[in-house]
């Protein structure tokens, strides 16, 4: 995992430092979208708060980190790995879990057509989009038991 982290950093010509490795490792290990709070507690104080935010900004700058706000207003962060294809998010309003969801090809194709239309209609250049779903996890969610 350390080697993965080093590799990621050097591939993006970002200097390899301890805090960056620790943050990347934590993100890689968790493997799912994670709130900054959770990330902080996984790091157990090993990285200063200011540094954590700086590292996250660095990762955003090199486009390997996605950041969004969950319905309960906490900031959620997620690594974008090469093998991690286009996907969307499902939020549990109860436990706060965020799950990656892939939707069907046909759906994505249709969504792209819709986006085309919106671009024309509003004279916009649309660069990105996001589908979010909210609800309650039932039996299977480990957090809500």
Partner DNA sequence: AAATAAATGAGACTTATTCTCATTTACTGT
Partner DNA sequence: ACAGTAAATGAGAATAAGTCTCATTTATTT
Interaction site with a copy of itself (CB under 8 A) = 68-69, 73, 90, 92-93, 99, 101, 103-104, 106-107, 110-111, 114-115, 117-119, 122-141
CA atoms within 13 Å, Cβ hemisphere of 131: 13
Identify the CA nearest to 19 among candidates 64, 67, 76, 57: 57
Q: Which is nearer to a copy of itself, 28 or 111 (CB)?
A: 111
**In DSSP terms, which residues pair with 35 in a beta bridge?**
76
**In DSSP terms, which residues pair with 98 in a beta bridge?**
91
Instruction: Report the residue from 51, 68, 108, 111 that binds DNA according to the rule CB under 7 A.
Output: 51
Instruction: Report the residue from 25, 28, 62, 75 that binds DNA according to the rule CB under 7 A.
Output: 75
- Select from DNA, a copy of itself, none the partner in contact with residue 140, using the beta carbon and a kind-dependent cut-off of 5 to 8 Å: a copy of itself
Token duo for residue 131: 């589908």
Q: Quote the longest CA-to-CA distance of the chain.
A: 50
Instruction: Report the residue from 48, 80, 81, 133 that binds DNA according to the rule CB under 7 A.
Output: 48
Token duo for residue 79: 């690594």
- Select from DNA, a copy of itself, none the partner in contact with residue 1, using the beta carbon and a kind-dependent cut-off of 5 to 8 Å: none
């Amino acid at each position: 995992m350390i080697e993965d982290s080093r590799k990621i950093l050097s591939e993006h010509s970002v200097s390899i430092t301890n805090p960056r490795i620790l943050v990347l490792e934590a993100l890689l290990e968790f493997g799912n979208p994670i709130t900054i709070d959770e990330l902080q507690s996984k790091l157990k104080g090993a990285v200063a708060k200011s540094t954590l935010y700086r590292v996250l900004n660095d990762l955003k700058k090199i486009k390997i980190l996605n950041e969004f706000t969950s319905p309960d207003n906490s900031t959620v962060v997620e690594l974008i790995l090469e093998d991690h294809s286009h996907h969307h998010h499902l939020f549990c309003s109860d436990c706060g879990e965020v799950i990656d969801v892939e939707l069907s090809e046909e759906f994505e194709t249709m969504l792209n057509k819709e986006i085309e239309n919106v671009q024309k209609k509003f004279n916009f250049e649309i660069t990105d989009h996001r589908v979010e779903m909210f609800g309650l996890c039932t039996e299977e969610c480990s957090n809500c038991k």
